[in-house]
Structure 1
Amino acid sequence: MNAVVDHYDPTPKYLQIAAIVRDQIRAGELEPLDPIPSELQMSQIHGVARKTARAAVRVLADEGWVFTIQSRGTYVSRVEDWPEQPAVE
């Protein structure tokens, strides 16, 4: 998935980046315990400030999609740690 931030969308950029990474996890492009792109990589890919990428990672961590190991990176959480998914009808 090569989704990028839509700079004309009124949705905050950090929420757009979080949604992109979340979608990559749900689609299996990023699997449990895989590293996600670094803040620097995200800022370069999406053309945003590093603090915007950091805010996206914080959202994903708060939701339970990822966890960070200081000085090592941020990784996709185990499936059992993911937030509850709505039932698909």
Structure 2
Amino acid sequence: MPAKPKWAQLAELIREQIASGELAPGDKLPSTAQLREQHGVSAGVVRQAILVLQMQGLVEGVHGVGVFVAERPEG
């Protein structure tokens, strides 16, 4: 089985941080530059991972401000 693309690995890591409570609703995610540096990936990889998480309703982007963990109803 081929390795997951880097963006999928990064999205999964952030998803796990949200699920575990390490990143709580309303928390700001690190910037694209910080995520690139921390994970050794390109800006495109970070953008794709964030886009997937946005489509899943896990994070919300605020233009010019950043990306935040979405408020999610319990249950």
Q: Could you state the TM-score of these two structures normalised by the residue count of structure 2?
A: 0.92
Q: Residues 17-54 of structure 1: CA distance to partner in whole angstroms, max 9, x if unpaired?
A: 00000000000000000001111111111101011101
What is residue 47 of structure 2 aligned with on the other side?
Answer: 54
Let me know the Cα RMSD of the aligned residues: 1.6
Give the greater-gyration-radius structure (CA).
1
Q: Which residue of 2 aligns with 1:27?
A: 20
Extract unaligned runs of 5+ from structure 1: 1-8
Higher RCO (Cα < 8 Å, 6 or more apart): 2
- The percentage of aligned residue pairs carrying the same residue is 35
2:63 to 55, 58, 70: 70
Displaced runs of 4 or more, over 6 A: none
TM-score (norm 1): 0.78
Matched, 1:42 2:58: no
Higher helix share: 2
Aligned length: 74
Which consecutive unaligned segments of at least 5 residues does structure 2 have? none
